[in-house]
């Protein structure tokens, strides 16, 4: 895929995106215009960001899918989807969703269509203003909004979340795993619950987030295996990177969140595992699982940051 991604990026196709694009990704320059202006922008930014976006969205969708194992979306709308990373993630999570990618940058849509032509041929690529006035077809099963809210002005951000919440059975929002990204997810989470959706992941409840803003933030990590091309574009030497992201998955479906979620990397000690949890009833807490807990100890040693905890455990 990398050669196609970079085909329109002269004269140095392996160069990283311009700083203004990275600033938009980090949510520092909200705008009311397309961020990706031409084929060169799209090719460079897709090569730089698409693999990590795919893995972050796939991780968020997998966490939601685990709570509704007998459900799969027939229709999926990806708001601000650009070259389609979230559409690839939805196809990797469920079989056969019919996806529509909405974006206001035609060059991004064009490249996304090229990349998906043989693998996701039924995907629709539509130009749309991402903000106030956005229309999402009523009855959509799944809406994703990934790495978009930080690019928008506050009023457009609220309009996008409202459009998703009104139209879809399930809404999954993903932002960078920064304090600012978490705050945008937290704000959108409140908007989703006020619209009548239930939080299914990562939170174990739909009540107020127990994290105190400014003291901590909720985020997770997805492992991204780097190709040689990706390492060249990123200017790195390691064969992998960890993409930090914040997310929320909300739904009108009959779904039950996990009793708790591991919100930090488990700490392995001799004969014990320390787990930092966000819990359904007791908020944030640390629990210690020792060898005397038997199979629970083995589960804890195998557990990862972001995993559900507490299902079928005493």
**289 and 297 Cβ atoms separated by less than 8 Å:** yes
Model pTM? 0.87
Confidence of residue 116 (pLDDT cuts 50, 70, 90): very high
pLDDT at 12 over 50: no
Confidence of residue 49 (pLDDT cuts 50, 70, 90): confident
CATH number of 2-251: 3.40.50.150
Residues 6+ apart with CB under 8 A from 232: 14
Place of tokens 């099963």: 141
Question: In a 3-state reduction of DSSP, which class is residue 116?
Answer: helix
Q: What is the CA radius of gyration of the chain?
A: 19
Mean pLDDT of 161-189: 98
Report how far residue 307's alpha carbon sits from residue 15's, in angstroms, rounded to the nearest whole number: 36
Higher-confidence residue: 29 or 162? 162
Place of tokens 């269509």: 113
User: How confident is the model over 259-313, as pLDDT tens digits?
Assistant: 999 999 999 999 999 999 999 999 999 999 999 999 999 999 999 999 999 986 4
Question: In a 3-state reduction of DSSP, which class is residue 163?
Answer: helix
Report how far residue 309's alpha carbon sits from residue 166's, in angstroms, rounded to the nearest whole number: 31
Higher-confidence residue: 218 or 31? 218
What residues does CATH 3.40.50.150 cover in the chain?
A: 2-251
Higher-confidence residue: 25 or 96? 96
Q: Which two tokens stand for residue 157?
A: 């951000």
pLDDT at 3 over 50: no
User: How confident is the model over 94-115, as pLDDT tens digits?
Assistant: 998 999 999 998 999 999 999 9
Confidence of residue 5 (pLDDT cuts 50, 70, 90): very low
Please state whether 74 falls in left (phi above 0), alpha (psi between -120 and 50) or beta: alpha
| Residue 78 bridge partners (DSSP) | 101, 144
């Amino acid at each position: 895929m990398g050669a196609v991604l970079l085909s329109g990026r002269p004269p140095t196709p392996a160069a990283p995106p311009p700083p203004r694009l990275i600033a938009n990704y980090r949510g520092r320059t909200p705008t009311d215009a397309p961020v990706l202006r031409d084929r060169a922008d799209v090719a460079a930014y897709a090569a730089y960001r698409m693999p990590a976006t795919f893995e972050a969205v796939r991780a968020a969708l997998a966490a939601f899918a685990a709570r509704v194992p007998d459900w799969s979306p027939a229709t999926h709308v990806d708001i601000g989807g650009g070259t389609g990373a979230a559409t690839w993630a939805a196809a990797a999570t469920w079989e056969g969703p019919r996806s529509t990618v909405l974006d206001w940058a035609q060059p991004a849509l064009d490249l996304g269509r090229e990349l998906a032509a043989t693998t996701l041929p039924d995907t629709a690529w539509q130009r749309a203003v991402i903000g106030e006035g956005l229309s999402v077809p009523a009855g959509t099963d799944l809406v994703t909004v990934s790495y978009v809210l930080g690019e928008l002005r506050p009023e457009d951000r609220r309009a996008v979340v409202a459009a998703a919440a009104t139209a879809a059975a399930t809404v999954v929002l993903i932002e960078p795993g920064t304090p600012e990204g978490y705050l945008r997810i937290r704000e959108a989470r409140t908007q989703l619950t006020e619209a009548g959706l239930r939080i299914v992941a990562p939170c174990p409840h739909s009540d107020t987030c127990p994290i105190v803003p400014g003291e901590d933030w909720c985020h997770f990590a997805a492992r991204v295996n780097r190709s040689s091309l990706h390492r060249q574009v990123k200017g790195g030497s390691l064969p992998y990177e960890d993409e930090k992201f914040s997310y929320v998955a909300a739904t009108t479906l009959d779904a039950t969140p996990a009793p708790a979620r591991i919100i930090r990397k488990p700490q392995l000690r001799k004969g014990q595992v320390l787990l930092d949890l966000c819990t359904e009833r007791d908020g944030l807490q640390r629990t210690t699982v020792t060898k005397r807990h038997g199979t629970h100890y083995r589960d804890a040693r195998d557990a990862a940051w972001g995993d559900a905890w507490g299902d079928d455990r005493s």
